[in-house]
Copies of this chain bind each other. A is one copy, B any other.
């Protein structure tokens, strides 16, 4: 699996999904083309999915928000008879490297979280209309919807058969949503998760696994009726979407990637990628009408799309780069002007969508399994939204005083309203609240410093950066840090960062990326699941996995 994975797609390229728009209701139909897997070696039978299927879904969910703001309810359903979705493709999982499995699950989890949050964030409610078998990752698709309807016939059921059948976990949020969202009683959850054939009809309702069970003869009509009802109850302004065109993106032979606003420089020997973000190249739009007229070329939307793509590209295609270094260059005041327009218009649907997108994007950075640092150099624009990067990464270094031969404006950091609410982490705290978890007063006092250019000394005093360095120390200190980081075991880094980055409260989201993912990754290393006689390899051979019965 060494081909370059491309996260960009559009409706003209979809092979596995289609959407029928019908005013405020969109029917989202999963109809996987079994011969169009992302890699060789498996067929996507029974609406099973691989990363390629999920990239399309993520694209649909994104376009639903930006291109179809008129949609209030999305009905996820199957285009096939007798099966809703059979889950992640087992042969794909059986053949995939550990790192691909883990990254695949992370991306699918992010997509599930994204449409699950669409009701609250964007006024788009997802209904799962389940007809036929809905198993494993298929039920996890449904679990992330806001409302689950199940037809009441002899072949339709919901199931999480991973444990009995495959010796792995329902790891795309399944176990966590069963306990924390559906709040299924734990002994019933135990029965459910160890029953291959799943649960049907009234029992599925009684156990809280679905929200409605509907006789088969009335199912389709009831689903559409429910969709209209929900749509009627969702207040949403009329709006016309903006089209998301293709990204301006060039991948170089050395692995570098160039976008209109971002340069990703890859240094394979040093196992490092440097992501340099450019500040705005033009004045901020006058108002949201002007912003909307710019559409996908509006600076903050374009930048978000490019940065999102860059992060995904590095995650899936550059596995040996252990360190991501973030830089910015640009005019901090001009950046703040662009941002201020959105922050002042949070009740405008497009301003809201762009800010929500930055929220999701920053969370994607939070859970990226690479060591990350930020360099606050002279000439940089770590302001507001971009300043969040300073506290998403593991360490931040800032230039202090003038550097010889460097006539860029001195490095500053600027806090804005963006840092005090609109971009919470998965733990529901802001990055500043998480950072100052031990000194809540300090977090509160940060607001007094809003909208001020903080120089190195001030940023250091406030605890906003890890270390400030002058011309004499800058290069050496950073080189030592980067070399040291590149020498550590990547696994230990992953484990350490997964623990240190999320202080304090846990939410369903952090539990999925923390507890559930970590156990799944553990199992993904165990011979009982992935060994030559393990369940994943033996799947479909008629033989059960052969297990080492020692309990750990």
A binding-site residues for B, Cβ under 8 Å = 98-99, 102-103, 162-164, 166-169, 175-176, 178-180, 182-191, 193-194, 208, 271, 319-322, 369-370, 394-396, 434-439, 463, 466, 484-485, 487-506, 511, 514-516, 518-523, 525-526, 528-529, 535, 544-545, 547-552
Given A186-B503, A519-B495, A490-B547 contact (CB < 8 Å): yes
Residues of B within 8 A of A485 (CB): 194
Given A322-B551, A500-B179, A551-B99, A529-B186 contact (CB < 8 Å): no
Some 19 contacts from A to B, beta carbons below 8 A apart, are A163-B488, A163-B492, A164-B488, A175-B496, A175-B499, A176-B499, A178-B500, A179-B502, A185-B463, A190-B395, A190-B496, A319-B551, A490-B548, A491-B522, A492-B523, A499-B516, A506-B511, A521-B552, A525-B525
Given A169-B499, A179-B500, A491-B528, A187-B466 contact (CB < 8 Å): yes
* Most B-side CB within 10 Å, residue of A176, A369, A498, A552: A552
Residues of B within 8 A of A190 (CB): 394-395, 466, 496-497, 500
B522 with A518: CB separation less than 8 A:
yes
Residues of B within 8 A of A179 (CB): 437, 499-500, 502-504
CA distance A185 to B370 in the complex (A): 19
Closest 8 A-B residue pairs measured CB to CB? A183-B438, A518-B518, A167-B489, A506-B506, A495-B519, A175-B499, A179-B503, A514-B515
Given A175-B500, A438-B208, A495-B523, A394-B187 contact (CB < 8 Å): yes
- CB-nearest residue of chain B to A508: B504
Given A190-B395, A466-B191, A506-B506, A552-B494 contact (CB < 8 Å): yes
Smallest distance from the beta carbon of A374 to chain B beta carbons, Å? 10
**Copy total for this chain:** 2
Given A506-B506, A515-B515, A515-B518, A186-B501 contact (CB < 8 Å): yes
B183 with A489: CB separation less than 8 A:
no
B395 with A490: CB separation less than 8 A:
no
CA distance A423 to B189 in the complex (A): 23
CA distance A435 to B369 in the complex (A): 34
CA distance A176 to B515 in the complex (A): 13
CA distance A438 to B518 in the complex (A): 25
- CB-nearest residue of chain B to A183: B438
10 additional A-B residue pairs with CB within 8 Å, beyond A167-B492, A193-B500, A489-B529: A163-B493, A168-B492, A176-B499, A179-B503, A184-B438, A320-B550, A490-B548, A490-B550, A493-B551, A499-B515
A520 with B506: CB separation less than 8 A:
no
Smallest distance from the beta carbon of A169 to chain B beta carbons, Å? 5
Residues of B within 8 A of A182 (CB): 438
CA distance A306 to B155 in the complex (A): 50
A321 with B187: CB separation less than 8 A:
no
Residue A525 contacts which of B489, B526, B544 (CB distance < 8 angstroms)?
B526
A489 with B551: CB separation less than 8 A:
no
Residues of B within 8 A of A163 (CB): 488-489, 492-493, 496
